[in-house]
Amino acid sequence: MGSEIRVGVLGSQGKVGKAIVDAAEAASDLTYTVGVDKGDSLEYFTDTDTAVVVDFTHPDVVMGNLEFLIRNGIHAVVGTTGFTEERLETVRGWLADNPSVGVLIAPNFAIGAVLSMRFAVQAARFYDSVEVIELHHPHKADAPSGTAYRTARLIAAARAEAGVAPSPDATTEELDGARGAQVDDVRVHSVRLAGLIAHQEVLLGTAGETLTIRHDSMDRASFAPGVLLGVREIAARPGLTVGLDDLLDL
């Protein structure tokens, strides 16, 4: 791996931040430099010669963080939420003045979530039928999950583009809700069960065969490999990258 990458963390005392510090310290090709939290100076990063900073903070502070990092030639891997198109445009402006810097902003760092969404979309046009089942712990407030909703919409769009007919369904007698929610013609079912964490299955079927793509997220550490992938790759991708997908080179 040659030289090591010097990585710092913004929001290092948060649940996610702590997990990233642990993962960075455990990786032999990375050197953890410093964590910056509320009240700390961002100059800790320049003082420690940090090359890449991971930001899991808050929408209120993330823009200030990014402006500082970009101006100081530090690459950023950002999991903080709240990026509107307007905010992205502002980031692009800062990057235009500092063309060697790379910034990755992603809503989901779980590689498996990204891959399974991608695979589902790629496979969707070859199958007569497709449905989505998502399964979560019973404390979840929304059904379906945001990921399942987005997966269904992407699948529906891919099928529409390929001119695939809607999934066949001869149901004439239905107990209310049995066939799930309909997201753009794709049925989505939400299971809530004690003992589960976060799981999703995309089921695709055609004459005589089915294909199932299942993603199981066992704990909060599941974003760590995606964040480290971003840390390793971002220096080679100047400018703004939105979503982990592009880094996966599929």
Specify binding-site residues for NADP(+). Answer: 38
6 binds a copy of itself (CB under 8 A): no
146 binds a copy of itself (CB under 8 A): no
For 181, residues 6+ apart whose C-beta sits below 8 A from its C-beta are 143, 144, 187, 188, 189, 190
For 75, residues 6+ apart whose C-beta sits below 8 A from its C-beta are 51, 52, 53, 69, 101, 102, 103, 234, 235
Whether 18 is catalytic? no
Binding residue (CB under 8 A) for a copy of itself from 4, 64, 191, 243 = 191
232 binds a copy of itself (CB under 8 A): no
172 binds a copy of itself (CB under 8 A): yes
214 binds a copy of itself (CB under 8 A): yes
In whole angstroms, give the CA distance from residue 50 to residue 44: 9
Cβ atoms of residues 20 and 35 within 8 Å: no
Binding-site size for a copy of itself (CB under 8 A) equals: 78
Q: Tell me the C-alpha to C-alpha distance, in Å, between residue 4 and each of 23, 48, 81, 211, 232.
A: 15, 14, 29, 41, 10
In whole angstroms, give the CA distance from residue 234 to residue 244: 11
Binding residue (CB under 8 A) for a copy of itself from 39, 60, 99, 178 = 178
Binding residue (CB under 8 A) for a copy of itself from 196, 238, 242, 245 = 196
Q: Which of residues 55-114 bind a copy of itself (CB under 8 A)?
A: 110-112
In whole angstroms, give the CA distance from residue 180 to residue 160: 21
Least distance between a copy of itself and beta carbon 10 (Å): 21
157 binds a copy of itself (CB under 8 A): no
- Retrieve residue 182's tokens: 């309909």
3 binds a copy of itself (CB under 8 A): no
Please choose, out of 30-38, 46-54, 90-98, 206-214, the segment that lies near a copy of itself by the rule CB under 8 A. Answer: 206-214
Please choose, out of 50-58, 68-76, 96-104, 165-173, the segment that lies near a copy of itself by the rule CB under 8 A. Answer: 165-173
222 binds a copy of itself (CB under 8 A): yes
In whole angstroms, give the CA distance from residue 13 to residue 18: 6
181 binds a copy of itself (CB under 8 A): yes
Residues that are catalytic: 136, 140
